[in-house]
Chain A
Amino acid sequence: MENSQIIRIESLVKRFPMGKGEFTALNGIKLSLGQGEFAGLIGPSGSGKTTLLNIIGSLDVPTEGSVTVLGRSIGALSAGEAARLRKESLGFIFQSYNLFAVHTVYENVEFPLLLLKYSATERKKMVTDALDWVGLNDKIKSKPPQLSGGECQRVAIARAMVKKPSLVLADEPTANLDAANSHNILKTMVSLNRELKTSFLFATHDDKVISYLRRKIFLLDGRVDNDVIISN
């Protein structure tokens, strides 16, 4: 069980229509990820990191090949099944936080639980816990415009983590943050990874992020160029 696979990708190709022809963004990816990993897709701009992350997150579909996430084949899912996979098992963190601007910190973190139809008492406990993990329980009534960038990203992490998903996908989560806040955020995610056994998959070219990764998957021109596991 220790290293059960949650992602398995074989011969993944992703092409986008472009003008008259097509553009190949991913070109024969083979990759698998185990439960509890803290891994990152690393590569220059345009190497296909976001594209791969979106397919794993069932926000997009493969052109060729197979992508299996938590036992479900991404290309074969209906829209409803894909939504259900995201709702129950996946958390997303983006570069530009994407919080609901007019809702409070508490309401932002509560939203995924509303979709999962948790009762009010369960929600209250889970939101409080999640805000404890990121150290924001003193700001539950604030709204995003009143928060710093680092605080916003911590709210986004709490929102992604509150339902305890199996896998969190984070696309350039530190791109808008200064060094101190970046380290703070990363330490939080490392400890959540340890305590909750949540798997993390990053897309990044930020050295600070890379320094925390326990596995570095290098992408180049839509292919896995190198895959390094750091043992400690």
Chain B
Amino acid sequence: MIKFLFKGLIRDKSRSRLPIIVVAVGVMLTVFLHAYIVGFMGDTIETNARFSTGHVKVMTRSYSDNMQQIPNDLAITGISSLLNDLDREFPGFEWSPRIQFGGLVDAPDETGETKSQGPALGFGMDLLSGGSREPERLNLQKSLVRGKLPDSPGEILLSETFSRKLKVNLGERVTLISSTMFGGMAIHNFVIAGTLLFGQEGLDRGTIIADIEDVRMALDMKDATGEILGFFRDGFYNDDLALSEADRFNASYSSVSDEFAPIMKSLSRQGGMGTYVNLAKGWSTYISLIFIFAMSLVLWNAGLLGGLRRYGEVGIRLAMGEEKGHVYRSMIIESVMIGIIGSVFGTILGLSFAWLVQEYGINISGMMQGSAMLMPEVIRARITPPDFYIGFLPGIAATVIGTMLSGIGIYKRQTARLFKELEA
């Protein structure tokens, strides 16, 4: 019987072609959009992770409570042993101490008088110890506009925009004016090694990047750091794992009474990123529902038209003693077959497009001007395992729902009435 139905479907193009195309298109869009959104949201998450939040971040409790102010007076001290502990107990992460700091950058003229000045947001990170992955993580080499990455102490990177604003050149000296960890005045000289273009207005305005040892010296932060960022060794952010690892850390290290005790926070527990992560998680559900709804409507109508053409067939099957419920069920079986065929085609197409956008990306830098959030410049889709099956849910659900709705007419109609139509 299944074979009989299947042959009918394959041979009767008008019965199968339109629904298969509708399903394939819907499934293609579902799969593609899913990969695209996972890629886009994932990239945004990763960009934020790399520049500011890590996949998890360790800091002191009070630093974490006042994170926006980057309060280095609340920094973690004794970090050599803490880093050892982290490497031993949390080997799934790569640990990178970072110092974020604010300050004023002052460019002197030949006589030593101030030529220009500007507020800066600084990052101290490991640039000089061989084997540091920080330059690669922030894509510094590729972001260089002029010069080179620092290769000896006392060298600094400026954003290209900032260097133009200060009218300074490579090899020139600039002075950082900031405050030490203990609240005193900090003044430190750096030599400009290179300039960077991030493509993000927020970062391009006034960013400076220096080796973390220089920053420690400048801010008097011996064996201390503002934050320790942890990155999953095997790639992308995994919220469930990040949350459980943070809980595990906090259970043994954190303490409610000691405001300088370290605390670990997942990316999703830092600032607005939580909403974003949840949005990213919920998206596949929303997309599927939207497409189930839209495709069902189309298939319902297609089914009504197709059903009219099939009154004759239904009538004769009833005359031969097939029960109405059986006819109805067999139409639903047909719709499942169509759903599967359409979903297979749609998934293949969706994956192909997603793969193209994963490999080549879509440049949206033009659209992103003025955005304060750290967003990637080039959007890339990211194909994840769910892309291979999520299309089948809307694909099959839509055909079945569409057929059920359009078939109700046949189900409700009296056998005798179907017969009248058969004679006509």
A111 contacts across to B, CB distance below 8 A: 4, 317, 320
In the bound complex, what is the Cα–Cα distance between A98 and B318 (angstroms)? 12
In the complex, what residues of B have CB within 8 A of residue A112's CB? 320-321
The interface residues of chain B lying within 8 Å CB-to-CB of A101 are: 12
Given A98-B312, A102-B12, A83–B4 Cβ distance below 8 Å? no
Interface-lining segment among A32-40, A63-71, A85-93, A207-215: A85-93
Residues 294-321 of chain B, each 1 if its beta carbon lies under 8 Å from chain A, else 0: 0000000000000000001101111111
- CA–CA, A54 and B415, complex, Å: 10
A50 contacts the other chain (CB 8 A): yes
> Residue B7 contacts which of A60, A80, A96, A102 (CB distance < 8 angstroms)?
A102
B419 touches A60 (CB 8 A): yes
Q: Smallest distance from the beta carbon of A222 to chain B beta carbons, Å?
A: 17
Q: Is the CB of B321 within 8 A of A86?
A: yes
CA distance A112 to B4 in the complex (A): 12
**Chain B, residue nearest A91 (CB):** B320
Within 8 A of A (CB), among B200-221: none
- The answer to whether B319 and A92 touch across the interface, beta carbons within 8 angstroms, is yes
Set of chain B residues within 8 Å of A80, measured between Cβ atoms:
323
Distance in Å: Cβ of A112 to nearest Cβ of chain B: 5
**B367 at the A/B interface (Cβ < 8 Å)?**
no
Q: Is B423 an interface residue (CB 8 A)?
A: yes
Please name all residues of chain B whose beta carbon is closer than 8 Å to the beta carbon of A173 when the two chains form the complex: none
- Report B402-424 residues with CB < 8 Å from chain A CB: 415-416, 419, 422-423
Residues of chain B with a CB closer than 8 A to A50's CB: 423
Q: Judge whether B7 and A83 touch: CB under 8 Å.
A: no
Minimum CB–CB distance from B329 to chain A (whole Å) comes to 13
A107 contacts the other chain (Cβ, under 8 Å)?
Answer: yes
Q: Are A60 and B415 in contact (CB under 8 A)?
A: yes
A85-B321, A112-B320, A114-B1 known; A94-B422 Cβ under 8 A: yes
A54 touches B416 (CB 8 A): yes
CB of A170 to closest CB in B, whole Å: 12
Query: Are A87 and B415 closer than 8 Å at their CB atoms?
Result: no
With beta carbons under 8 angstroms apart, the residue of A57, A87, A110 that contacts B322 is: A87
Q: Which residues of B contact A54 (CB under 8 A)?
A: 416, 419
- Asked if B269 is at the interface of the complex by the 8 Å CB criterion, the answer is no
A residues within 8 A CB of B78?
Answer: none
> Could you tell me the distance between the alpha carbons of A94 and B11 in the complex, rounded to whole angstroms?
24
Contact check, B423 vs A92: say whether CB atoms are below 8 A apart.
no
Shortest Cβ gap from B225 to chain A (Å) = 74
B324: CB under 8 A from chain A? yes
Which chain A residue lies CB-closest to B316?
Answer: A98
A100 touching B8, Cβ below 8 Å: yes
The chain A residue with its CB closest to the CB of B419 is A59
**Which residue from B12, B320, B423 sits with its C-beta under 8 Å from A86?**
B320
> Could you say which of A95, A102, A115 contacts B320, with CB atoms under 8 Å apart?
A115
A103 at the interface (CB under 8 A from B): yes
Q: How far is the CA of A31 from the CA of B7 in the complex (A)?
A: 43
Q: Is there a chain B Cβ closer than 8 Å to A141's Cβ?
A: no
In the complex, the answer to whether B12 meets A92 with C-beta atoms within 8 Å is: no
Does A15 touch B at the CB level, under 8 Å? Answer: no
- Of B12, B318, B319, most buried by chain A (CB within 10 Å of CB) is B319
Within 8 A of A (CB), among B309-352: 312-313, 315-324
Q: Does A187 interact with chain B (Cβ within 8 Å)? A: no
- Neighbouring A residues of B419 by C-beta, 8 Å: 54, 59-60
Cα A88 to Cα B4 in complex, Å, equals 20
Contacts of A100 in B (CB 8 A): 8, 313, 316
Q: How far is the CA of A79 from the CA of B318 in the complex (A)?
A: 10
Q: Do residues B323 and A79 form an inter-chain contact, with CB atoms below 8 A?
A: yes
Question: By the criterion CB–CB under 8 Å, are A79 and B324 in contact?
Answer: yes
**Across the interface, which residues of A come within 8 angstroms of B415, CB to CB?**
59-60, 79, 82
Q: Which of A214-232 contact B (CB under 8 A)?
A: none
Q: Which residues of A contact B4 (CB under 8 A)?
A: 103, 107, 110-111, 114
Does residue A84 face the partner (Cβ distance < 8 Å to B)? Answer: yes
A94–B320 CB distance below 8 A:
no
CA distance A110 to B8 in the complex (A): 14
Contact yes or no, A95 B323, CB < 8 A: no
Q: Can you list, as one digit per residue, whether each of A51-63 has a CB less than 8 Å from chain B (1) or not (0)?
A: 0001001011100
| Chain A residues in 8 Å Cβ range of B317 | 111
0/1 interface trace, chain A 40-55, chain B, CB 8 Å (1 if under):
0000000000100010
Q: Kindly list chain A residues whose C-beta atoms are within 8 Å of the C-beta of B416.
A: 54, 59-61
Q: Which residues of A contact B312 (CB under 8 A)?
A: 98
Which residues of chain A are within 8 angstroms of B319 by Cβ–Cβ distance?
Answer: 57, 59, 86, 92
| 7 closest Cβ pairs, A-B complex | A87-B321, A86-B321, A60-B416, A102-B11, A98-B316, A102-B12, A83-B323
Known: A59-B415, A59-B419. 4 other contacts (CB 8 A): A57-B319, A80-B323, A86-B319, A171-B423
What would 10 A/B residue contacts be, using CB atoms closer than 8 Å? A50-B423, A54-B419, A59-B419, A79-B415, A83-B324, A86-B320, A92-B319, A103-B4, A103-B11, A107-B7
